[in-house]
Every structure is written in structure tokens, then in C-alpha cells.
Amino acid sequence: MYGILLVDKPKGMTSNRVVTAVKRRFGVKVGHAGTLDPLATGVLPLLVGEATKIASHLLHDRKVYETVMHLGVVTDTLDAEGQVTDRRPVPELTAGDMKSVLDRFVGDSEQIPPAFSAIKIDGRRAYSLARSGREVAIPSRKVTVYSMELRAMDLPRVTVRMEVSGGTYVRALVRDIGQALGCGAHVEELRRLVHGPFRVERAWKMGDIMNMDPESFAGALRPMFAAFPDVPKMIIDRFTAWTLLTGRTAEETKISEDDHMVVLLGDNGHELGLGTIGKSGLKPLKIFGKFIQEYVEDRRKENVQ
């Protein structure tokens, strides 16, 4: 059993709890492709079985969120679950004023992640240090905001839909917007609508997943390479597959183009892994060893017969 399961994560549940619940229910290896805060809801891709090997390639996908910002109230966690640290009056704002401020955040910028985050500082999670009362200094990171759309405004609450690069913290973005407005702000609600090629409309509710039998669960899994709709597919024979499995470059497949990623398939349509192909040939990137061994053995038997 392997593939991608799209979950509509419920509010109040950590991403790790979702992973653990599915793992225990179906007895399979499970990982996720990008944490959602406990406060947040929305699409959370779970990687099942061999699909856990492609997790690192999904972390940097673009994402679309819709958030309700509460202006005038600042919390230590930057969301509604934290302790209030400051209250300030909210200025009189028109929709035009709000849009003008939001537009200033579109584009590339350096963002300082929240102190209450899973980023590691000297081997410890930042949130662990923050909870112990220690000062947490987190280096800034480059993020990109592709769009900001004002969806509703009923002060002190403002609803915004945004498309951002992987690694962007919406809580930190809302913090910075609040500072730009001069009144501070925190995230009151947050929903992830899109993660790369995956949309929340296609995601399963946790209750429905927990009520599935193993056959239904297997049927709910999407192919691993649904995560790479724009990556070219390449069918390889058993000899090339074995070369990649042993970590070598298949030089006979070299092309004149610069290196680019390809999805590797057997001639039976089975997913075999990810590779890069270019002037030096085809190189292994993420290889599904068990699948390649089965593919090679099946083709060998056919030739013998």
C-alpha cells in the first residue's frame, strides 16, 4: 500500500497526530509533506509507504491559505492559542487602506519565523526553547508572497487569501502586517486551500478515513507522482533501472539538454522513482528499490520464458 492521501486536517489536531492516527489504523508507514499548526485546518498531504521518500520534494511547493487576522491584539505564539502580550487601538481603515498595505507584502522578502515554531536551534525545537522562557533568535529566511487578496473586512477582523512559497509562516506574515498597520495582529483562523497540485476539495475528512476498511483506504490513495504533474515522465527498461538501483549513472541515456528532473516509470506503468537527466546521462535522485527489484525480476522471468 503506497501513495498520497489528502487529508482535510481538523482544527486542534497536530499534523503528527494525524500521521499517528492513520499509521495505527492501517498499519502502514506514514509521513506528511509540510506541517500545519494545530489551529489550522485544510489540505495536508500524507505520504504512505514508499511515497515517504518524496517528502523533501513537496516541502517547497506553493501554498494558498485563507486567514482571519485579528487586529489590535498581539500574542506570544502569533495566533489565537497564545497568551496576549499587547493590545493596541485599531486605526480607522478602509478597504483601500488595507489593500494598499497588503500589496506591500507581495514579492520576495526576508521573514523571521515565529519563536513558537518547529525550527531547530542548536538541536532543539524553537517552540521548546520559547516555552522554557529562553530568548529565541531565529535567522531570517527568504520567502515569496505571490498574491494577497482582501476577502472580507469587519474590524478588528480582516480575512485575507494569500499564495506563498514553501517555508512561509502565515503567522509571521500576519505579525508583520499588524506592525505595518501600527496596531499589531494575530492569526485567529487559518485554512490551507492548496498545497502544490493538491486542493482541499479533494481531501478526506479524518472521520471518513478512520471509518475506511483497508481496501477503501488503498483506493483513496493517489499515485505518488500526482505530486509532479509538470515533471516529464520517462519509461526505462530493466537494465537502466538496475543501473540506477546500484547508484550509477545510465550514461547511454545522455541528452544535449541541461540536467532536469524526470519521473521514472517501468514499461508496465509502475512508479520506479525520480531521476535527473542531462549531458552526462540519467542519474538516480529518489529510487524505489523494492519496486525496481520487482520490475527487474518480472522482466527477467519473461525473457527466460
Nearest residue to 77 (alpha-carbon basis) of 182, 192, 169: 169
- From 37, 61, 86, 97, active-site residue: 37
Specify whether 37 is catalytic: yes
Residues with Cβ within 8 Å of residue 201, at least 6 apart in sequence = none
CB-neighbour burial class of residue 83 (10 A; exposed 0-12, middle 13-18, buried 19+): exposed
- Report the C-alpha gap between 266 and 287 in whole angstroms: 12
- Report the C-alpha gap between 248 and 296 in whole angstroms: 16
Helices 238-245 and 289-304 meet at what angle, rounded to 10? Answer: 140
- Report the C-alpha gap between 264 and 95 in whole angstroms: 49
Element (H, E) at 293: helix 289-304
Q: Grid coordinates representing 27?
A: 498499519
Nearest residue to 169 (alpha-carbon basis) of 37, 16, 57: 37
- Report the C-alpha gap between 136 and 122 in whole angstroms: 11
> At 12, is the secondary structure helix, strand, or coil?
coil
Catalytic residues: 37
